[in-house]
Structure 1
Amino acid sequence: MIWPFPFDQEWTLHQPGEGAAYATSSCLRLWTRFLPDPDTRGTGTWTISANRASFDQTAWQITFDATTPAELLHDVHAVLLDLYLEDRYSGQDHLFEDVIAPHEVCTPLLARGWSHIIKTDGTQTFLEPQSLGSVRHRYATTGSDGPIWRAWDEYPSEPHWQARFSAGAPTTLAAVFTASLISTEPLHRAVQDVPLHTCRHLDVAPAAAKQPPSYPTPVLPPATHAVDRTR
């Protein structure tokens, strides 16, 4: 569910083994991969990279820990595919030229009650009301090569997961990430997949029962005179 790419058409999927996987666009300017950590079970890194020309140097990069919620990963990759297709068929260059302003990434967080801290070091941090997570934006880009956007859960020193958006990464992708981060849509999780330290913050409800299919009421034929027949 992480990669919504059309592998039966123009995208290519590579699975060299040991849990690693690569997906590449037909133009070879866009690729994404998952590399597991062979020494630690359940860990690794998701990476999205883009090049202005095939086999050129990386123009920008986004990384996610393997423990990042799958819904966040899917939403970012879905919009990534949308940008790729829009560029391909419209002649635009949305993968390398921002079409939205940085405040559109932050505004939904503030509207949901996140606090806002601005520092003189060129960064601003948005904190979730219950301290469950943070998003940091580096608005002063001179003299530093760190990520422009960084998000994590719990404490920055020991996060359960974190995401990093390098300079040049489309602000559109950062915006869809924060929108997905604050989504209130219920998630399906097995008990063993829920980090213990988050249990006290959860609203738990039974999974919705699957509704039987609804079929239209058949139209009865017009009544006829009695026919002696057993059903």
Structure 2
Amino acid sequence: MPTPHNTPVPEGPVVLDRREGPHGEVVLRRHGGLLQIIANGCFLMDTSDGRSERRLVDAALDALDDRPAPTVLIGGLGVGFSLAHAARNPRWKRIVVVEREQAVIDWHRDGPLSELSAEALADPRTEIVAADLVAYVHESEEAYDALCLDIDNGPGWTVTDDNEGLYSPAGLAACRERLTPGGVLAVWSAQPSPRFEQTLRNAGFQGVRTEEVPVARGVPDVVHLATRAE
């Protein structure tokens, strides 16, 4: 049946950019008022909410108690919620973001996602590192007070097979080495994982716990938290 002239036609997603990178295809879409990132056909995130991404940063900072001028490594730029939120807090001394997709970096620097991150990117505390996070935690010699990681839909639901190594005993050992004594590892996930909690304990982390973050629809997101021993 034809659509009546006075009935609005729902607006479908519009592709703003499509890139073929070393890890496959990444797409930026606009769907109504939302911006969406799709990787290899898998929906990653959009600009609809962001409360769990913001909580990822806050939970790590809370776990550091009153540590003065802490530094944070954010794994995954995404749509910029975590970076923008961290930059709004003057307590962070340094904010380093590791992102492997040059397209995502470009979308923030001079593309549609700049509306969310322009102020944070202009902050002198912010540094963007174009690198694969898994390789970075193994190869870097820098240590941070907090690692806030959000590059997958969770430890058991990775965007690419390469990312599985981040949640392995060797990957978590490398994360532990990137933390200062008493530093905090925070990992975003779309669902809880008791198995991952045990893997964190086996990797030598202390204070392992999972915090639920309510979302508008569906099961809560979670933040896995763990501390490197003093």
Length-normalised TM-score, structure 1? 0.25
Greater relative contact order structure (CA < 8 Å, 6+ sep): 2
Q: Which has the larger share of strand?
A: 2
Say which one has the larger Rg.
1
